[in-house]
Amino acid sequence: MKLFRYSLKKILGGLVTLLLAATLSFFISRLAGDPTIQMLGLSATPEQIAELKAQLGFDKPILTQYSTFIGDIVQFDLGNSLYAGQSNISLIQSRIWASVQLTTLAVALGVLLGIPMGVYAAAREGKIVDRVISALAIVGQSIPVFWLGLMLVLFFAIKLSWLPAGLAGGWQNLVLPTVTLATIPLARVARLTRAAMTNTLEDQYIIAAKARGLSRKRVLFVHALKNASLPVVTLIGLQIGTLLSGAITVETVFAWPGLGTLATQAVRSRDITLVQAMVVFGAAAFIVINLLVDLLYGFLDPRVKDSQNK
């Protein structure tokens, strides 16, 4: 019962956040100026502008436009693109698979390498291995992804001709953008895992586990990592949300047909309805992932599960 109430509370909180994100995106995009002038050009007559405004509903009072916008969202309608001549949802749908592929692979690579690196560094705190891993993580976090992407393209695509430089296609096309994008979650996950594990390894139950003759691997991965995992899981959730709603730089460098390039195109062409749709979609993705992370806490920490079930 408590789990139901807890989930309901989280869902309602998420809906309020979504409403705020939609409201902000609506009013901020209106502050950017009149999109109809942008669409028709400076030579357009006032009559042409008025006609287009009426066609798009921009002639109505702002609060009416806002209530229509929110009402459409409630009915899962994110409006039509001003330029593409199709619904924003269908535009997002056409790009989402490419973004999901790239995000999933990049986050998986980051997690699969980042967690063991963080654990290994913490287990050898202060030793040379720890210093090397910590330095690599800082480099990974500081290096601009557009530069890394370009370097990888220059070396592996142009010089060695091993892999394609960009665009979607087979698995080969995924390698360079995935590796480039993975540096962000990899570095962050490795650093946070190391920090959380360093604290946990000083806890007395870890000394007690060693005293009972448990293997080093079991102490590290079963007892310490499980207890250090909550902040890491939270970070992974945030990384998925961020990358899914648009890994703009990496997608642009590799001409990857995902949501990031769609967002860039929308901003460049001042397609405000598409920009609003992408903001709402991004916020919704974040909220859903955070909700899943919250529910995952219950499985990772039986204390949370017990308190939810009471």
Partner 1 sequence: MSKLLENDRESILDVSDLTITHQVRRDSGKKTSFDAVHNVSLKVFPGEIVGLVGESGSGKTSLSLAVCALGKVTQGKITVAGLDLTSLKGRELRAARANVQMVFQDPHSSLDPRQRIGDGLRELRNLHSERVGEITDEELLSKVGLNSGILSRLPNQISGGQAQRVSIVRAMMLNPSLLVADEPTSGLDATVQAQIIELFRSFRNEMGLSILFVSHNLAVVRELCDRAYVMKSGIIVEDGEPASLFENPVHEYTKMLVSAVPGKSAELAKGTR
Q: Which is nearer to partner 1, 160 or 211 (CB)?
A: 211
- Single out the residue of 93, 205, 292, 309 in contact with partner 1 (rule: CB under 8 A): 205
Distances (CA, A) of 168 to 162, 245, 248: 16, 18, 15
**Of positions 45, 171, 204, 268, contacts partner 1 by CB under 8 A:** 204
77-80 long-range contacts, CB within 8 A, separation 24+: 78/273, 78/276, 78/277, 78/280, 78/281, 79/273, 79/276, 79/277, 80/273
Please name the residue that has the structure tokens 């919704």: 284
Measured in degrees and rounded to the nearest 5, phi and psi for residue 233 equal -65, -40
In the complex, the smallest distance separating the C-beta of residue 136 from partner 1, rounded to whole angstroms, is 24
> CB-wise, 122 or 253, nearer to partner 1?
122
Considering only the stretches 9-17, 34-42, 190-198, 295-303, report the one whose residues sit in contact with partner 1 under the rule CB under 8 A. Answer: 295-303
In angstroms, how far is CA 90 from the centroid of its own chain? 20
Least CB distance to partner 1 at residue 140 (A): 27
Q: Does 128 bind partner 1 (CB under 8 A)?
A: no
Q: Which of residues 206-265 bind partner 1 (CB under 8 A)?
A: 207-215, 218, 223, 226-227
Q: How far is CA 80 from the centre of its chain?
A: 24
Task: Report the interhelical angle of 225-244 vs 171-201 (nearest 10°).
Answer: 140
Judged by CB under 8 A, which stretch of 11-19, 134-142, 183-191, 294-302 contacts partner 1? 294-302
The label of the residue with tokens 């005293």 reads 211
Closer to partner 1 by Cβ: residue 229 or 245: 229
Interface with partner 1 by CB under 8 A: which residues? 203-205, 207-215, 218, 223, 226-227, 300-303, 306
